[in-house]
Amino acid sequence: MAGREEPNAGREKLIRAAAEIFARVGFAGASVGDIARAAGVTQPLVNHHFKTKKGLWQAVVHEHFAELEQALDACEARTEGRCERDRLRALLYEFVLFSGRRPQLTRMMRMEADGSLAGEVSDEWNRRFVSFLETRLARAVHAGVLAPLDPRFLYFFIIGAATELFAQPELAQRVFKLDVSSPSVIEDGAQFVCDFILKGASNTAT
């Protein structure tokens, strides 16, 4: 029938709208009604797809983490057979691009970092991401691309470098006149992070 939406169209609209609102005002500050209005759907649709506001928040975080995982896995497959330096650079670049294009994930997790809400969703994904990154960094160290630095500190350094710029858009605009939603700024940021990490943590750095 003409004009009829796909069955999951309303769900996808809610995910997009909720990501923006949760990232801006946090879980406590967001209302189901505001999210439904921003999505252009009726409030009962939230209950239909997610049961509760908490269920919607968890779905948003899960979908963003799943998208990140898919992007990194695709990057791994795309760079198969290339030297480890090129593979690590491509992986870091992909991570920063994702952080710039989907900054809501970082903002949401930081806003709820002191509560149980983030922990319930993030523990599983954090374990998977830490394991993924540790394996890739160990591979780069073994290949002589990176110095054998403490992986615990290197992990947090990489996460901060990849996300901090996009986590504070108001500060970036006010202090440095940077529009962190601009594709060119996101790409420049990705290049900078790759250059800085691969030079600063290089096995040949002096």
pLDDT of residue 5: 54
**Phi (first) and psi of residue 146, to 5 degrees:** -115, 150
| Tens-digit pLDDT profile for residues 34-60 | 999 999 999 999 999 999 999 999 999
Alpha helices in the chain (DSSP H): 9-29, 32-39, 44-50, 53-78, 84-101, 104-111, 116-142, 151-167, 169-176, 183-200
pLDDT of residue 1: 37
Average pLDDT over all residues of the chain? 90
Domains of the chain, residue spans: 59-200
Q: Does domain 59-200 have CATH number 1.10.357.10?
A: yes
pTM above 0.85, yes or no: yes
Q: How far is CA 93 from the centre of its chain?
A: 13
Percent of all residues in the chain with a pLDDT value above 70, rounded to a whole number: 94
C-alpha pair distances (Å), 76 with each of 79, 88, 155: 5, 9, 18
pLDDT of residue 3: 45
- 204 pLDDT higher than 70: no
